[in-house]
Amino acid sequence: MINAALFISWALAVVLFDCRLRRIPNWLVIAGLAVACVLAASGHSPFHIDVSDAALGLLAGLLALLPFYLIGLMGAADVKVFATLGAWCGFHALPALWIVASIAAGVHALYLLASAVIEGRRQSAESSLESSPNTDGYVSRPRDVTGVERSSPYTFMVGGRRATPYAALLAVSAIGSLTLQVFEAAR
């Protein structure tokens, strides 16, 4: 029970840091990795894996997302958290965690896109009522806070930063996986 509480505490800390700050401190990742390895080595992993499963999961998690980091599609923290989740959950759990988190990220991106479109249309309607045609007869394009003309009102900015909190989604999917395991074991 304590081993599951340790995992859930670590995963919730990842969620809080990623959602609030969009940063996950290295000390949190290292602490999670250390606890995962100690629990696997002692035979007390909440996911019932051994050291070899934890090592394989760590390596697979790192190698699976590293290319996405290298081409700039995700942050280093996302890769480090996925590798650490591999050490906690083992190799066998990673595909499901990845799929669930990716679906949630897609839903989040659609929400952001819909919100940006709605906000852009609202702002466009307000500015068209307030603005008068310029010398060419066209209404001015939207401008940012510095007065520079923007090409489009649509954006994927949340809290001043672009992107979906992917590490948080990975951690939540791992909490869900552990919860399902507990319910299945109770049956």
For the segment 107-123, what is each residue's pLDDT rounded down to a tens digit? 988 988 888 888 888 88
In a domain, 83, yes or no: yes
35 pLDDT higher than 90: yes
Q: How far apart are CA 3 and CA 47, in angstroms?
A: 9
Query: 3-state class of 152 per DSSP?
Result: coil
pLDDT (0 to 100) of residue 133: 54
DSSP 169: H
Which of 51, 49, 56, 30 has the alpha carbon at shortest distance from 89? 49
The Cβ-side half-sphere exposure at 72, using a 13 Å CA radius, reads 1
Percent of the chain past pLDDT 90, that is, above it, reads 62
Which residue range(s) make up the domain with 17?
2-94
The gap between the terminal CA atoms of the chain, to the nearest Å, is 17
CA 137 remoteness from chain centre: 45
Cβ neighbours, 10 Å, residue 181 = 16
Q: How far apart are CA 13 and CA 27, in angstroms?
A: 11
pLDDT (0 to 100) of residue 82: 98
In a domain, 15, yes or no: yes
In a domain, 139, yes or no: no
Integer Rg of the chain from CA: 22
In a domain, 77, yes or no: yes
In a domain, 39, yes or no: yes
In a domain, 114, yes or no: no
pLDDT (0 to 100) of residue 138: 46
The structure tokens listed for 149 are 């003309």
Buried b (16+ CB within 10 A) or exposed e, 99-118: ebbeebbeebeeebeeebee
Contact by Cβ (8 Å): 156, 113: yes
136 pLDDT higher than 80: no
pLDDT (0 to 100) of residue 130: 65
Q: How far apart are CA 187 and CA 184, in angstroms?
A: 5
pLDDT per position as a tens digit, 77-87: 999 999 999 99
In a domain, 75, yes or no: yes
In a domain, 62, yes or no: yes
Overall domain count for the chain: 1
pLDDT (0 to 100) of residue 120: 83
